[in-house]
């Protein structure tokens, strides 16, 4: 016995199936569109005027999400493309990349990111990081893997703790921790012991 394809029930089921297929297609196209945007960004920073190493592009991709998060907290509506443009403009303005494609200097101040992505560990040759006035409440443990750092500006944040792994930054010459709420390091001597060759700016009262 064959079912009648023209009954109301059959027509309803067919419409439901077509609607679901249309929805799946739209989601697939949206996913592809986002994927293409990411590919476009990678082409710009890895094969464009910057020629940044692919391992470090991963960090920049994660930074896009952080920029969008920061904009959301500030009640600012920006899309993926606008976040990309902010990062590219900041790289042009203050970033420095060596001939091998390593980011050696990075400024996050004007990107207003609420966090530093853990993939910062990929920036093995990073020498200068400015992450001031971002209202950061914590730092990723992976930051201490950037052992080439010479200058680290973290002032005007809301940090209450600095890991003792900061001692891994043996080449660090200048550390600014001003205007934070550090609680763990009760004395200057404790941090100076970890970084004996570093000029440190402490929060007032520490």
**Which range has the top average pLDDT, 15-19, 73-77, 158-162?**
158-162
Higher pLDDT: 22 or 129? It is 129
pTM: 0.78
pLDDT of residue 181: 84
Per residue in 149-180, pLDDT (tens digit) is: 999 999 999 998 889 999 999 999 999 999 98
**Burial per residue of 2-21, b for 16 or more beta-carbon CB atoms within 10 angstroms, e otherwise:** eeeeeeeeeeeeeeeeeeee
- Beta-carbon contacts of 142 under 8 Å, excluding residues fewer than 6 positions away, are 118, 119, 120, 121
Tell me which residue of 173, 129, 171, 172 sits closest to 154, measured CA to CA: 129
Res 58 pLDDT > 80:
yes
pLDDT of residue 34: 46
Tell me which residue of 136, 131, 116 sits closest to 175, measured CA to CA: 131
Res 107 pLDDT > 50:
yes
- Beta-carbon contacts of 144 under 8 Å, excluding residues fewer than 6 positions away, are 163, 165, 166, 168, 169
CA distance 50 to 68: 22
Give 32's Cβ-side CA count (13 Å radius): 6
Res 196 pLDDT > 50:
yes
pLDDT of residue 12: 60
Higher pLDDT: 26 or 180? It is 180
Q: What percent of the chain has pLDDT over 90?
A: 58
CA distance 27 to 76: 25
Least confident of 24-33, 41-50, 150-159: 24-33
Where in the chain are the domains?
17-94, 127-206
**Fold type of domain 127-206:** 3.80.10
């Amino acid at each position: 016995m064959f079912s009648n394809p023209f009954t109301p029930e059959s027509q309803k089921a067919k419409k439901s199936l077509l609607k679901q297929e249309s929805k799946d297609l739209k989601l697939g196209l949206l996913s592809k569109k986002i994927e293409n945007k990411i590919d476009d960004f990678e082409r710009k920073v890895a094969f464009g005027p910057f020629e940044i190493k692919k391992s470090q592009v991963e960090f920049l991709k994660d930074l896009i999400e952080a920029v969008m998060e920061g904009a959301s907290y500030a009640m600012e509506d920006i899309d993926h493309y606008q976040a990309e443009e902010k990062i590219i403009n900041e790289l042009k303005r203050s970033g420095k990349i060596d001939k091998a494609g390593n980011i050696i200097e990075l400024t996050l101040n004007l990107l207003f990111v609420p966090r530093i992505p853990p993939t910062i560990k990929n920036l093995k040759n990073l020498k200068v990081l400015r992450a001031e006035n971002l209202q950061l409440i914590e730092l990723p443990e992976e930051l201490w893997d950037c052992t080439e750092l010479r200058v680290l500006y973290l002032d005007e944040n809301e940090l209450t703790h600095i890991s003792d792994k900061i001692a891994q930054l043996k080449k660090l010459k200048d550390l600014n921790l001003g205007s934070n709420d550090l609680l763990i390091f009760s004395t200057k001597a404790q941090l100076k012991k970890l970084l004996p060759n570093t000029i440190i700016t402490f929060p007032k009262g520490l």
